[in-house]
């Protein structure tokens, strides 16, 4: 009897410490050229947790940070560790689509909630959708669709589209063409993914004199492309609309070279809503840089978790209740309007920005138009969402 | 396709070519004279870009940036040669590849620790930020400057190698190292000099690419691959070969990228051409390399006709 009591006391004590600290796994690209994206995701997540005194939804949390190194095999290993050793019930982050495709099924099959704060490849928005997956960013095509609609609104007739020759490059051009009406894409130029110098292609583009150029060159490629474009003197003669090319992670390396470039996405640091103003001010104060959209997405993921954990009073193992709490998306998103579609991707307004100097004279993104209102992705219809 | 477009593409090819030459010159000398495979040559290029960008940001002087990059990379080369690599010169090539690959990882991580994982800012110097109008098309003046600087360095190297005593020793060392050593020349000193010179040239190439390319960890690897192609085509150990091969690779690669997709569209339907064009264009220099290897295994301009290594 005595032994049983002791055992019961110990197990209760263990259970108490376990529930006192909720473990959350964070997976992202934290090394290599793409690390600034993962770093912004991490910093924004930790910002909200710090603002809440180390808690989400009133429960103390421990974030276990893992670097997926943009390698699907490494991502699999770190996710295995999070699931088997750390026994986390929530994972957030994930930067690249190929990493998402590698770990999405493994995590959701296990009944662990995955709150994606960047990558949104089409399969998981469509046929492979899961009730355990929520996205606080976008489906990959949405940014491209925003630019396409903007180009139609502007009445551009001849547009040249350029992207690296890989899946995302093709998706971003397909997304653009889906919403670009009334004009034509006179040329599509795909460059090898490892090509760093674009002088040959830029000379081709200049000779064709298009109304506008649409480009998708993420990360370091975008830095090269924008610099070379500006040096060729083309900023003056050709309007450039971009997706995932000039953003908070590349602008510090570009500065004035990118002035006048347009970019289509869902959020900008100049949004006037109160939640955003507070977020941007706090982020700049703590990290001394302008937050990128990757930070905004991750901050919303943290806010979503905060609201849902509070709703279930920390009992995230009641999966049905926790799922309903997440689905409700009862938080003030930094982007303004936010709710989940049937495939648990956001329904949101999409914007166009141009690169301009902000009030403090820093080169940043400035809102210029809202081409798409309450936009949903094109794959939700293919998603047969299972009930939990 | 107009004549202007072709000419501007030719200039682009030339610009890529001279940049490759700066890298290939050092690599081919080190290989030719010391029989040493230095995969970390791309890291010296990266270091040059970082030294230059940091100096430019601090002092606002591009001249100082170039100085910092060449001297800095040269010094790193010197230290590498004296301390890290000296034991490896007598080992076989596989050991050298392994060790210098390790150095690539080391330098990438070092740069990441100092300057962070993202790319850092480096602008074109104001004096060269304009475009030049020639024959009815505009061309960035900075790229003209690269071509000019590259050709000047090539001329300087030619004079150094062909007309000076040091150059004579280098030439002799490339073909008959033991003979040179037995004549009382300190071959070790000669090796260090050659290694540092190659490193300085790589640093120069790095700082000149800084305003065009993104300055980020790992920027040296893609360019290293092209450089290896150049020295294979040119003939190992031959500066002259490196020069012509660099220009050929630069022009073939650029013209291929510019016109291959259009040519393919004339042959195939649009979808096939869009897929095949860029792929074939990026393969072009490797096909060219294979052709050269098949017809002239020693490269186009081998250091000497009878050299065995």
Chain segment A252-300, per-residue pLDDT in tens: 888 888 999 999 999 999 999 999 999 999 999 999 999 999 999 999 9
- How far is it, in rounded angstroms, from Cα B26 to Cα A354? 44
- How far is it, in rounded angstroms, from Cα B74 to Cα B183? 28
User: Quick check: A340 pLDDT over 60?
Assistant: yes
Tell whether A233 is within 8 A of chain B (Cβ): yes
What pLDDT is attached to residue A36? 87
B187 vs B41, higher pLDDT? B41
* Binary contact (A231, B129; C-beta < 8 A): yes
Confidence of residue B174 (pLDDT cuts 50, 70, 90): confident
What pLDDT is attached to residue A60? 95
Q: Please, which residues have CB within 8 angstroms of residue A297's CB and are 6 or more apart in sequence? A: A41, A44, A117, A118, A136, A137, A267
- How far is it, in rounded angstroms, from Cα B1 to Cα B305? 42
What pLDDT is attached to residue A9? 58
User: Quick check: A224 pLDDT over 70?
Assistant: yes
Lowest-confidence pick of A12-21, A237-246, A377-386 = A12-21
Q: Which residues of B touch A196 (CB under 8 A)?
A: 213-214, 219, 222-223
Residue of A nearest to B142 (CA): A231
pLDDT in tens, B155-170: 999 899 889 998 888 8
Residue of B nearest to A196 (CA): B213
The dihedrals phi and psi of B233, each to the nearest 5 degrees, come to: -65, -40
What pLDDT is attached to residue B307? 40
Interface of A with B in 16-35 (CB under 8 A): 31-33, 35
Residue A48 C-alpha, separation from nearest chain B C-alpha, in angstroms: 24
What pLDDT is attached to residue B309? 36
Size of interface A-B (CB pairs under 8 A): 115
What pLDDT is attached to residue B280? 82
- How far is it, in rounded angstroms, from Cα B275 to Cα B262? 12
Residue of B nearest to A192 (CA): B278
What CATH architecture is B3-295? Orthogonal Bundle (1.10)
**How many CA atoms lie within 13 Å of B133's alpha carbon, on the beta-carbon side?**
1
* Binary contact (B118, A252; C-beta < 8 A): yes
B72-101: b (≥16 Cβ within 10 Å) or e: bbbbbbbebbeeebeebeeeeeeebeebbe
> How distant, in Å, are the alpha carbons of A171, B55, B129 from that of B62?
41, 8, 12
Residue A132 C-alpha, separation from nearest chain B C-alpha, in angstroms: 32
* Binary contact (B119, A197; C-beta < 8 A): no
Rg (CA), chain A: 22
What pairing do the DSSP bridges indicate for beta strands A133-135 and A363-375? unpaired
pLDDT in tens, B2-23: 777 888 889 999 999 999 999 9
A42-53: b (≥16 Cβ within 10 Å) or e: bbbbbbbbebbe
What pLDDT is attached to residue A11? 59
- When CB atoms are compared, the residue of B9, B255, B278 closest to A190 is B278
* Binary contact (B274, A190; C-beta < 8 A): yes
Please, what are the domains in chain A?
21-138+272-340 (3.40.50.2300), 141-265+351-375 (3.40.50.2300)
Where are any strands of DSSP class E within A165-290? 184-191, 212-215, 239-242, 262-265
Residue in the block written with tokens 């990026």:
B282
Confidence of residue A16 (pLDDT cuts 50, 70, 90): very low
- How far is it, in rounded angstroms, from Cα A267 to Cα A349? 9
Tell whether A257 is within 8 A of chain B (Cβ): yes
Tell whether A69 is within 8 A of chain B (Cβ): no
pLDDT in tens, B185-216: 888 888 889 899 999 999 999 999 999 888 88
pTM, two decimal places:
0.80
Q: Which residues of A touch B257 (CB under 8 A)?
A: 191, 195, 200-201
Rounded to a whole number, what is the largest CA-CA distance in chain A? 90
pLDDT in tens, B74-121: 999 999 998 888 888 888 889 999 999 999 999 999 998 898 877 888
A351-369: b (≥16 Cβ within 10 Å) or e: bbbbbeeeeeeebbbeeeb
Residue A270 C-alpha, separation from nearest chain B C-alpha, in angstroms: 23
**Residues A257, A258, A264, CA angle at the centre, nearest 5°?**
170
Confidence of residue A301 (pLDDT cuts 50, 70, 90): very high
- When CB atoms are compared, the residue of B142, B223, B279 closest to A231 is B142
User: Quick check: B235 pLDDT over 70?
Assistant: yes
Helices (H), chain B: 3-34, 41-59, 62-79, 93-115, 141-163, 165-175, 177-182, 187-209, 220-234, 239-267, 270-295
Q: Which residues of A touch B4 (CB under 8 A)?
A: 207
Confidence of residue B135 (pLDDT cuts 50, 70, 90): confident
Whether A274 contacts A336, CB under 8 Å: no
Note the ipTM here. 0.72
What pLDDT is attached to residue B130? 82
What pLDDT is attached to residue B249? 93
User: Quick check: A385 pLDDT over 60?
Assistant: yes
Q: Which residues of A touch B261 (CB under 8 A)?
A: 189
């Amino acid at each position: 009897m005595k032994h049983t009591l002791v055992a019961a006391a110990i197990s209760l004590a263990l259970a108490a410490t376990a529930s006192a600290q909720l473990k959350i796994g964070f997976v992202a690209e934290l090394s290599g050229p793409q690390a600034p994206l993962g770093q912004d995701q991490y910093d924004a997540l930790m910002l909200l947790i710090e603002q809440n005194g180390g808690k989400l939804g009133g429960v103390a949390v421990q974030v276990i940070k893992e670097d997926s190194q943009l390698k699907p095999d490494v991502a699999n290993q770190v996710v295995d560790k999070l699931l088997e050793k750390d026994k986390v019930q929530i994972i957030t982050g994930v930067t690249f689509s190929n990493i998402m495709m590698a770990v999405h099924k493994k995590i959701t099959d296990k009944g662990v909630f995955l709150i994606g704060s960047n990558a949104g490849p089409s399969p998981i928005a469509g046929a492979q959708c899961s009730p355990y997956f929520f996205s606080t960013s976008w489906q990959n095509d949405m940014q491209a669709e925003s630019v396409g609609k903007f180009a139609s609104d502007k009445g551009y007739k001849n547009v040249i589209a350029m992207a690296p020759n890989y899946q995302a490059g093709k998706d971003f051009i397909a997304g653009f063409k889906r919403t670009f009406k009334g004009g034509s894409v006179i040329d599509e130029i795909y460059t090898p993914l490892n090509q760093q110098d674009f002088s040959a292609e830029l000379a081709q583009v200049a000779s064709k004199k298009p109304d506008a150029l649409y480009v998708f060159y993420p990360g370091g490629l975008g830095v090269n492309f924008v610099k070379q474009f500006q040096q060729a003197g083309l900023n003056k003669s050709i309007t450039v609309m971009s997706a995932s090319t000039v953003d908070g992670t590349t602008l510090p390396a570009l500065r004035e070279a990118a002035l006048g470039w347009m970019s289509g996405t869902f959020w900008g640091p100049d949004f006037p809503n109160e939640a955003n103003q507070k977020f941007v001010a706090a982020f700049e104060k703590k990290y001394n840089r302008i937050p990128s959209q990757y930070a905004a997405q991750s901050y919303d993921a943290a806010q979503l978790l905060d609201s849902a954990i509070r709703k279930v009073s920390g009992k995230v193992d009641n999966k049905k209740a926790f799922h309903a709490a997440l689905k409700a998306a009862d938080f003030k998103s930094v982007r303004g309007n936010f709710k989940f579609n049937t495939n648990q991707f956001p329904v949101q307004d999409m914007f166009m920005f141009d690169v301009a100097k902000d009030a403090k004279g820093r080169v940043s993104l400035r809102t210029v138009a809202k081409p798409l209102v309450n936009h949903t992705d094109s794959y939700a219809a293919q998603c047969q969402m299972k009930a939990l | 396709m107009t004549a202007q477009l072709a000419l501007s593409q030719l200039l682009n090819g030339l610009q890529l070519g001279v940049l490759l030459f700066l890298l290939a010159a050092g690599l081919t000398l080190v290989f030719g004279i010391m029989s040493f495979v230095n995969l970390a040559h791309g890291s010296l290029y990266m270091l040059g870009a970082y030294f230059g960008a940091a100096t430019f940001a601090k002092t606002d002087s591009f001249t100082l940036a170039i100085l910092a990059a060449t001297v800095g990379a040269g010094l790193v080369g010197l230290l590498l040669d004296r301390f890290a690599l000296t034991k490896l010169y007598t080992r076989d090539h596989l050991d050298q590849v392994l060790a210098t690959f390790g150095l690539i990882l080391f330098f990438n991580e070092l740069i990441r620790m100092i300057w962070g994982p993202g790319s850092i800012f480096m602008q074109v110097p104001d004096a060269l930020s304009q475009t030049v109008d020639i024959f009815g098309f505009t061309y960035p003046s900075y790229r003209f400057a690269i071509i000019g600087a590259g050709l000047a360095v090539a001329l300087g190297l030619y004079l150094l190698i062909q007309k000076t005593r040091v150059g004579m020793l280098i030439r002799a060392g490339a073909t008959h190292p033991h003979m040179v050593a037995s004549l009382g020349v300190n071959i070790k000193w000669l090796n260090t000099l050659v290694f540092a010179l190659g490193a300085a040239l790589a640093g120069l190439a790095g700082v000149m690419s800084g305003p065009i390319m993104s300055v980020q960890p790992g920027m040296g690897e893609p360019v290293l691959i092209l450089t290896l192609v150049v020295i294979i085509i040119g003939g190992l150990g031959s500066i002259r070969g490196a020069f012509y091969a660099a220009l050929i690779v630069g022009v073939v690669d650029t013209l291929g990228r510019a016109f291959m997709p259009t040519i393919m569209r004339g042959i195939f339907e649009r979808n096939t051409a869009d897929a095949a064009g860029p792929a074939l264009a990026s393969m072009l220099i490797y096909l060219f390399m294979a052709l050269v290897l098949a017809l002239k295994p020693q490269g186009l301009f081998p250091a000497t006709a009878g050299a065995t290594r």
